[in-house]
Structure 1
Amino acid sequence: MGVLRDIDETQAPLMDHLAELRTRLLRSVFVLAIAFGVCFYFADPILAFLARPLANAFPDGQGKLVYTKLYEVFFVEMKVALFAAFCVSFPFIANQLWAFVAPGLYAKEKKAFLPFLIATPVLFLTGASLAYFVVMPTAFRFFLGFQGNAGDLAIEALPSAGDYLSLVMQFILAFGVCFLLPVLLLLLERAGLVSRKALSKVRSYVVVGVLAVSAVATPPDPGSQLILAVPLYLLFEGSLLLMLILERRERKPDGEDAGASDPV
């Protein structure tokens, strides 16, 4: 009977956690649906904002987007609304995730995890802003530079709305996710899966990996690849520096020499 009582007692908290998870998921979906409805209503201004780098890249500023399928623009606006709705509702979704996980953490663990939760949207927004304000205009001017004449034929860029939106989302997501590298490295270091000294010994491999990621995540033009590769490597070095600072701070209460030289 004691075993059955223990099973019942363990099942009850599990069901409570599942019920709470269901509630928070439903809240997140509800907020996402409301944000999607609002963003779909403003889909045209949002699409115009996303298309501004392309419009400014045309030499005469008179570029246009075309569509070859009757339903293409409708689904483009659906994707735009969903993309914008997720960006708008992400703070609420992250808050619901934190509210579900936080009660199971110790105070020290909450204090250690909270900076990562704050840094994630900041770094993602920084990468997305770099893509929108710097990389996309540079890449689009490069691509549009191939317009001209081939003999008696005129070569003119007529990008479709669907292809352009896919390219914009690729730029924004690629730069946003890649800028989360410090969060990933610091979490792995906190979990004991990697160490600063081990990472500092593989810098040459990191350079190759950064170049490979930049080549895959961006269109095939050298400018946009370098614009992603350079900040990505600087973020790697910044992560090592931050690990070193945290190590020295943790050694101070133990009476060790905090001023000793310790190369990054």
Structure 2
Amino acid sequence: MASPEPEPQLDLQQGLFSHLIELRSRLLKACAMVLIVLLALIPFANRLYSLLAQPLVARLPQGAHLIATEVASPFITPLKLAFYTSLFISMPVILYQLWAFVSPGLYKHEKRLARPLLLAALVLFYIGCAFAYFLVLPAAFRFLTAVTPAGVEMMTDITHYLDFVMLMFFAFGLCFEVPVAVVILAAVGVVDVAKLRSVRRYAVVGAFAIAAVITPPDITSMIMLAVPMCLLYELGVLAVRWLVKPREATE
């Protein structure tokens, strides 16, 4: 007769199965939120694209305009933008579902630190995207239209424009996460306040190097990203003093 399965192993399998079920439930709720927002935005997809294209269209020379080089682009491209926007709007719900799944396994001090970090990461990402749309993109397109050679008519494909702007949003959103990254590094014991202050000059150089790679090829856009990154680094140093206790940084 076969020996009965050990209870610890059975409990482990049941626990893993219950976690997988909960994960599926959380993912379905997050996907449902994205789908609901997407369905609500589809009727406004063309209007959304017009808003997104405004920083470029307002600075195009007289008679220039955006073009569609593929047959399905006038339909597919606004639909893609509606999907990206639905992800953008649904991100608080997605992060909440993620938090609800992982929070039961965190210690009390980890929860105390994770909550403000998640909120700060979301807000900073939104601020980075808004900064790119309202300040950086107009400056970049003003430069690009000014340096267009004589005899060349600037007409940008709508799909390429969407890809470029989404890349800028993602890049600026990530770059604005500097304070969150600094706090996480301090929380796991990689750095402390003294170390962060001692490498400040290297952080400034790194910020300008990253800005030179990410931004369009004009000095204004580079400065407009590098300077906020330096300020956010200083904000991260202050956040380490406020949020990370010495015992948390050394555990």
Mark yes or no: TM-score above 0.5: yes
Q: Which moved more, 1:226-235 or 1:211-220?
A: 211-220
Query: How many pairs were matched up?
Result: 244
Contact preservation (8 Å) 1:170, 1:217: no
Q: Give the corresponding residue for 1:38.
A: 40
Aligned residue runs from structure 1 range 30-109, under 5 A = 30-58=32-60, 63-109=64-110
Report the secondary structure of 2:189's partner residue. Answer: coil
Contact preservation (8 Å) 2:176, 2:229: yes
Q: Give the corresponding residue for 2:13.
A: 11
What is the deviation of 1:208? 2.4
Instruction: Write the deviation string for residues 124-183 of structure 1: whole angstroms up to 9, x where unpaired.
Output: 11111111111111111111112463xxxx322111111111121122111111101111
Give structure 2 stretches of 5+ with no counterpart. Answer: 247-251
Q: Give the corresponding residue for 2:155.
A: 158
Greater relative contact order, per chain length (Cα 8 Å cut-off, separation 6+): 2
Aligned residue runs from structure 1 range 1-264, under 5 A = 4-58=6-60, 63-147=64-148, 149=150, 154-246=151-243, 250=245
Instruction: Write the deviation string for residues 95-146 of structure 1: whole angstroms up to 9, x where unpaired.
Output: 1111111222233322221111111111111111111111111111111112
RMSD: 2.0
Instruction: Write the deviation string for residues 29-67 of structure 1: whole angstroms up to 9, x where unpaired.
Output: 22222222222221101101101111222355x652101
CA distance in 1, matches of 2:238, 2:128: 20
In structure 2, relative to structure 1, the CA distance for the partners of 1:240 and 1:168 (3 Å cut) is same
CA distance in 2, matches of 1:206, 1:76: 38
Contact preservation (8 Å) 1:147, 1:157: yes
In structure 2, relative to structure 1, the CA distance for the partners of 1:105 and 1:246 (3 Å cut) is closer
Contact preservation (8 Å) 1:170, 1:218: no
- Structure 2 length as normaliser, TM-score? 0.89
- Structure 1 length as normaliser, TM-score? 0.85
CA distance in 2, matches of 1:175, 1:240: 20
The AA in structure 1 aligned to 2:35 is A
What is the deviation of 1:189? 0.7
Identity rate of aligned residues, in percent?
38
CA distance in 2, matches of 1:64, 1:101: 48
CA distance in 2, matches of 1:2, 1:218: 64
CA distance in 2, matches of 1:163, 1:223: 23
The AA in structure 1 aligned to 2:214 is A
Report the secondary structure of 2:154's partner residue. Answer: coil
CA distance in 1, matches of 2:38, 2:243: 41
Q: Which moved more, 1:28-37 or 1:40-49?
A: 28-37
Give structure 1 stretches of 5+ with no counterpart. Answer: 252-264
The AA in structure 1 aligned to 2:60 is F
